[in-house]
Amino acid sequence: MNTQKQLTSWQKRKRRIKKKLKNSDRARLVVFRSSKHIYAQVLDAITGQVLCSASTVAKDLKGSVAKLNKVDSAKKVGETVGKLAKEKGIEEVVFDRNGFLYHGRIKALADSAREAGLKF
């Protein structure tokens, strides 16, 4: 599959997901995956402000995930963002996979966030 087709497929999935999540009044757990890193943010549904975030490039996680593989580091990020959200009083979120397929690192992050106490 060529790169342009992959990009347009990802953009179509992203728009389709955003359209479904637009009417939700719960906070959104948004995930972005690059080739080396993974990022997770909990956004306020109404204002769009970031309530808490975690990533493999954040100072508190950077050292602990340096030697881990990508799936294990995604689990660590999910656990961290789950704990931070619980501290802010957020218990229920809507999972926004941002157009990425639900397997591998995305699934690992979601499962560890659920284990940390988030409901989605």
pLDDT (tens digit, 9 = 90+) per residue, 54-85? 999 999 899 898 899 999 999 999 999 999 99
Q: With beta carbons less than 8 A apart as the criterion, state whether 106 and 100 touch.
A: yes
Q: How confident is the model at residue 46 (pLDDT cuts 50, 70, 90)?
A: confident
- Whole-number Å distance between alpha carbons of 110 and 120: 9
Residue 1: predicted pLDDT: 64
CA distances from 36 to 73, 74, 100 (A): 10, 11, 15
Taking a C-beta distance cutoff of 8 angstroms, is the pair 105, 38 a contact?
A: yes
Q: Which of 6-10, 27-31, 115-119 has the lowest mean pLDDT?
A: 6-10
Closest CA to 78 of 51, 36, 42: 42
For the entire predicted model, the pTM comes to 0.87
Q: What is the pLDDT of residues 75-111, one digit of tens each?
A: 999 999 999 999 999 999 999 999 999 999 999 999 9
User: Are residues 109 and 31 in contact, defined by beta-carbon separation less than 8 angstroms?
Assistant: yes
The sign of the torsion formed by the CA atoms of 112, 41, 32, 61 equals negative
Query: Which of the four pLDDT bands, split at 50, 70 and 90, describes residue 10?
Result: confident
Nearest to 57 by CA among 42, 38, 70: 38
Domains belonging to the chain, first-starting first, are 3-115 (3.30.420.100)
